Amino acid sequence: MHNGFTRTLMPFLLIAPTALSAAIPVRQQWKVGEEREVDEGIYFRLLKVESGWRLWRIETRGSVECRAVKSARGQVHPFPIGAGAMFGFGEPYITIWKHRGELRYFWKGVDFENSMVQIRRQGAKFWDIDNGEQVFNDTNVVEVKIGSWEYPAVRVGYHETKGVMDFAGWSAMRMAVDECDEAR
């Protein structure tokens, strides 16, 4: 039995998922080796896909760098959006890159700047603060909780992002980022 509300609402129920997927291109398909200009003068090339990780080469007129990115279980994979944030959607996710000759990692929540990252290793009771110096291996599974502010200077727009990160492929991606960085 259909009433006026159902007849009015039905087109929106059918169109909304299509409109949402058009507005947020989470189904971006990249082929290994493919390069695109994702922002003016910023080129991303997908170099490798392995164990849920994506290895990217990012080139601008002034620099080239490589980053490996992996999202938490059940999240879409972050995709290139260009300057500043570099990747969008799929939060929480982790990025590996090389800075001043040292491999580093960074957790990404909803907002550009995180105020606190906490992790809890599988089987642990308590959360630990992750200041970017934790040691992970390919068998680690951790819960991650990222607190971030949309406007951190005035403490407005707090968001908390949670997920479970599987570190399978961690060692291979660290090596791949290192090799990619050396080849640039």
Tens place of pLDDT per residue across the chain (184 aa) = 445 534 444 443 444 444 434 444 544 789 999 999 998 999 999 999 999 999 999 999 999 999 999 999 999 999 998 776 688 888 999 999 999 999 999 998 876 666 789 999 989 999 999 988 899 999 999 999 998 888 777 778 888 999 999 999 999 999 999 999 887 6
Both tokens assigned to 144: 């991650």
pTM equals 0.80
d(C-alpha 116, C-alpha 132), whole Å: 11
CA angle 120, 126, 128 (to 5 degrees): 55
**Which residue in the block uniquely carries the two structure tokens 């982790």?**
94
Name residues whose C-beta falls within 8 Å of residue 23's C-beta, 6 or more positions apart in sequence.
none
Rounded-to-5 percentages of helix, strand, coil across the chain: 20, 45, 35
Q: Is 95 helix (H, G, I), strand (E, B) or coil?
A: strand
Q: What does the pLDDT read at residue 29?
A: 86
d(C-alpha 152, C-alpha 112), whole Å: 10
Both tokens assigned to 171: 């060692």
- Residue 61: count other Cβ atoms within 10 Å of its Cβ: 7
